[in-house]
Every structure is written in structure tokens, then in C-alpha cells.
């Protein structure tokens, strides 16, 4: 079964003169163990697509289903539960709560989901260690660098048993080694059975995905999957 399915999704922002067709008929299926990267110029609809996939926004036409449940059919409360429980989201602007420490930021969704305080805290610490931030548990967001905050946001998305990981430019503020470490983590989470959608401007990062979808003006213009036989590549390198 697919973890995420978009069926002919459209999203129109605004009305009248100011109408923006942010997405115009996008369909996509992401299965367990699959990481899909979304690339495209600024304004092509990448964040809009991710917001729809994460139930933060609804389509003006078409359907979004997460683990078989059509999001449009859920009430606010059920949607919130599904989001917390099944979806890990890294926002383009991070969205850390400034009044909570790094560990509290990560543990919060678990606690809201009914996980005990101590277990949630332990999971948060493990998750922090995975992004190389042990020792930062008690720091508040404004006491950390941009790259460190970004890693906290990633730890928060990857904590627990989320089945769908959505990441909007998660490597934006990171240097090349740290960025790669984040992709390894995301890849490992997906290889362990989750499904992932990664929005990125960087081809080197998109290359960690199984498929790369190119968006342009709200439409998917192309999709690239990996070659079956890597040997072809080696021939080219000798010339």
C-alpha cells in the first residue's frame, strides 16, 4: 500500500486578479521504502505540494491520501492526530517553539500523542544524538546556530514511528558534510520502511532519492529514477 498518494491535485491560492495556480494536476504515489525528491525553481509549487501531503493545507481539487486515508474526509481533530502520529515534517522555516528546549521541541509531538514523559524524553535524546547534537538537549532555539536549529527540526521529524517524512529544504543551513549526514539519516529512516518526500534545490541531495520529480509552474515536467545498471556510467568516465 502507498504511504502517500496525490491524485490529480490542484491548489489555487487567492482569487480574482491575484489568483495563483500553485499546483495544476499533480499525481504522485510514494510507497514504503521510497524516497522521492522534488526539485524546481522558486515558486514552482514545491512547498505547496508538501503542505498538501502533510495535511497542513487542502487541495482545491483532487485528493490526498496518507496510508490510505483521504485527508479531506477527516475532521480537524482526526487530521491533527494523524499528522502527529504518522507524519514527520521539517518546515522550510523550521518552526521550532522558542520557549521549549531542543529536547522538549522533539518530545512534544510524542507527548501529545500519549507517549509518557520519560519515554518521550529518551526518544528525544536518541534522536538528538542521531543528528550529532548530544549535549544540546537543554538549549533553547535562540541559543543555537542556524544549522543546529535545523538539525533539531530534523530530529523532531524523525523521532518515533512516523511512516511519512516530509522535508522542505532540510539541508538549507548546513555545510556539505552535515547536509550529507542528514540525508544518510533520512535515507536510513526510509530504508527502514518509512516513505519520504524531500524538497531541495541541491541536485547532490536530491540524488539520495529513488525518484526525482521536477516541478515547474505547478506541473510535474519530468521524473528521474535511477538506472538499472551502474556499469553504463563507468564507460562514460573513461572518455
Ligand X SMILES: Nc1ncnc2c1ncn2[C@@H]1O[C@H](COP(=O)(O)OP(=O)(O)OP(=O)(O)O)[C@@H](O)[C@H]1O
Contacts with ligand X, residue ranges (CB under 6 A):
13-14, 20, 22, 40, 42-48, 92
The least distance separating ligand X from the CB of residue 150, rounded to whole angstroms, comes to 15
Residue 122 has a CB neighbour count (10 Å cut-off) of: 15
The answer to whether 169 and 199 have CB atoms below 8 angstroms apart is yes
> At its nearest, how many Å lie between Mg ion and the CB of residue 92?
5
Applying CB under 8 A, does 222 fall inside the site for another protein?
yes
* Residue closer to ligand X (CB basis): 201 or 211: 201
Cα dihedral 89/222/25/68 (nearest 10): -50
Minimum distance of another protein from residue 5's CB (angstroms): 23
Residue 230 interacts with, from Mg ion, ligand X, another protein, none (CB under 5-8 Å by kind): another protein
Q: Rule CB under 5 A: is residue 44 a binding residue for Mg ion?
A: no
CB of 17 to another protein, least distance (A): 13
- Residue 224 binding partner per list ligand X, Mg ion, another protein, none, with a CB distance cut-off of 5 to 8 Å that depends on partner kind: another protein
Q: Which does 203 bind (CB under 5 to 8 A by kind): Mg ion, another protein, ligand X, none?
A: another protein
CB nearer to another protein: pick between 78 and 221: 221
- Contact stretch for another protein (CB under 8 A) within 3-11, 35-43, 86-94, 159-167: 35-43
- The one of Mg ion, ligand X, another protein, none whose footprint includes residue 214, by CB under 5 to 8 A per kind, is another protein
User: Distances from the Cα of 174 to the Cαs of 169, 178, 200, 215, in angstroms?
Assistant: 10, 6, 13, 24
User: Is 91 exposed, middle or buried, given 0-12, 13-18 or 19+ CB atoms closer than 10 A?
Assistant: buried
**Site residues, Mg ion (CB under 5 A):** 47
Amino acid at each position: 500500500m502507498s504511504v502517500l498518494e496525490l491524485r490529480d491535485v490542484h491548489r489555487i491560492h487567492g482569487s480574482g486578479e491575484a489568483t495563483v495556480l500553485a499546483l495544476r494536476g499533480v499525481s504522485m504515489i510514494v510507497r514504503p521504502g521510497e524516497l522521492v525528491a522534488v526539485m524546481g525553481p522558486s515558486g514552482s509549487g514545491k512547498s505547496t505540494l508538501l503542505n498538501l501531503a502533510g495535511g497542513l493545507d487542502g487541495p482545491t481539487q483532487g485528493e490526498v491520501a496518507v496510508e490510505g486515508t483521504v485527508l479531506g474526509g477527516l475532521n480537524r481533530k482526526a487530521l491533527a492526530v494523524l499528522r502527529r502520529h504518522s507524519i514527520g515534517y521539517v518546515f522550510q522555516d523550521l518552526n521550532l517553539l522558542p520557549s521549549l528546549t531542543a529536547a522538549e521541541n522533539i518530545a512534544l509531538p510524542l507527548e501529545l500523542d500519549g507517549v509518557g514523559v520519560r519515554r518521550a524524553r529518551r526518544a528525544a535524546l536518541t534522536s538528538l544524538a542521531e543528528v550529532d547534537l548530544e549535549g544540546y538537549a537543554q538549549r533553547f532555539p535562540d541559543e543555537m546556530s542556524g544549522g543546529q536549529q535545523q538539525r533539531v527540526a530534523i530530529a523532531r521529524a524523525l523521532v518515533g514511528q512516523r511512516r511519512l517524512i516530509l522535508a522542505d529544504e532540510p539541508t538549507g543551513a548546513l555545510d556539505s558534510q552535515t547536509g550529507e549526514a542528514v540525508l544518510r539519516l533520512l535515507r536510513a529512516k526510509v530504508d527502514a520502511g518509512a516513505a519520504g518526500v524531500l524538497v531541495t534545490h541541491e541536485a547532490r541531495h536530491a540524488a539520495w532519492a529513488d525518484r526525482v520529480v521536477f516541478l515547474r509552474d505547478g506541473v510535474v515536467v519530468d521524473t528521474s529514477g535511477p538506472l538499472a545498471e551502474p556499469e553504463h556510467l563507468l564507460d562514460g568516465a573513461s572518455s
